């Protein structure tokens, strides 16, 4: 990290974007973030985490001339969305830390709803697609049904009360992120329930917030292949808890480019 960045005051907001082969969608997303957040009070930084892309994702991000600090972090190969989010959140410097999908399925304007929840006393605010009237473009019926089924498994397995754990739009106070992410172990798609389970174990207040959301073509998840892995991840989370693994930080294996 450049010395000037290390010496500058921390921004109020860090936005972490996990990205795998996103050269096509990333320019529009970064342009929208600049339009909406370029003059954010207190400052903002954007961190793009390249998850071993085989296209020009990293080059596109580095070449974007933004009005805010923009960093690109490189994973050591293709490690998964959970690894990417953890990598970015542990490197973030903001007072508030948001992670969002590279396609901005939840518009960045919905951030105001999450901030309102934190201002009202929550430590973590999670976007939710549970309100049908806020969904502007739906996934296939099969995908939506599979999502509801997985969420029921989350409730039964981990005891989490949320209607939607998988929405990629979550805001953390820095103190909560600093305690939770070093303990995160799931590196694939099942990382969201793990984060919320850790928040529950540590006593952080989590508020679920309905947000506008629109499905975008090009999603990286493969339903049949990844559903089994996500179920396995739920079992792993329970096993880690029984072993006491969440009482000590996991080894930090992130690499910064």
Show the tokens assigned to 242: 């029984």
b/e per residue 199-226 (b: at least 16 CB within 10 A): beeeebebbbbbbbbebeeeebeeeeeb
* Cα 154-225-137 angle, rounded to 5 deg: 70
* Per-residue model confidence as pLDDT tens digits over 32-74: 999 998 888 889 999 999 999 999 999 999 999 888 999 999 9
pLDDT in tens, 88-118: 999 999 999 999 999 999 999 999 999 999 9
Q: What CA–CA distance (Å, rounded) separates 136 from 82?
A: 26
Tens of pLDDT, residue by residue over 8-32, are: 789 999 999 999 999 999 999 999 9
- pLDDT at residue 220 greater than cutoff 70: no
Report whether 78 contacts 158 (CB < 8 A): no
Mean pLDDT across 199-209 = 97
Distance of CA 212 to the CA centre of its chain: 16
**pLDDT at residue number 189:** 82
Say how far residue 119 (Cα) sits from the centre of its chain.
Answer: 20
Instruction: Kindly give the interhelix angle for 191-202 and 141-158, rounded to the nearest 10 degrees.
Output: 30
Reported pTM: 0.87
User: Taking a C-beta distance cutoff of 8 angstroms, is the pair 158, 193 a contact?
Assistant: yes
């Amino acid at each position: 990290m450049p010395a000037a960045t290390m010496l500058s005051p921390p921004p109020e907001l860090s936005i972490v974007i996990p990205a795998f082969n996103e050269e096509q969608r990333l320019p529009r997303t970064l342009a929208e973030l600049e339009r909406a957040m370029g003059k954010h009070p207190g400052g903002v930084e954007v961190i793009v985490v390249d998850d071993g892309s085989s296209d020009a994702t990293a080059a596109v991000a580095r070449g974007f001339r933004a009005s805010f600090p923009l960093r690109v972090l490189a994973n050591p190969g293709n490690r998964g969305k959970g690894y990417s989010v953890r990598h970015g959140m542990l490197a973030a410097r903001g007072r508030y830390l948001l992670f969002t999908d590279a396609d901005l399925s939840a518009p960045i304007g919905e951030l105001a709803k999450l901030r309102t929840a934190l201002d009202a006393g929550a430590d973590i605010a999670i976007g939710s697609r549970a309100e049908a009237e806020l969904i502007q473009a739906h996934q296939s019926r099969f995908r939506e049904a599979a999502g509801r089924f997985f969420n029921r498994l989350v409730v039964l397995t981990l005891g989490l009360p949320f209607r939607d754990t998988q929405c990629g739009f979550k805001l953390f106070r820095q103190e909560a992120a600093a305690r939770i992410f070093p303990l995160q172990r799931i590196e694939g798609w099942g990382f969201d329930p793990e984060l919320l389970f850790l928040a529950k174990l540590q006593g952080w207040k989590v508020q679920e917030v309905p947000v506008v959301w629109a499905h975008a073509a090009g999603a990286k998840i493969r339903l049949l292949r990844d559903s089994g892995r996500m179920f396995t991840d739920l079992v792993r989370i329970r096993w880690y808890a029984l072993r006491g693994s969440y009482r000590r930080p996991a080894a930090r294996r992130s690499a910064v480019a």
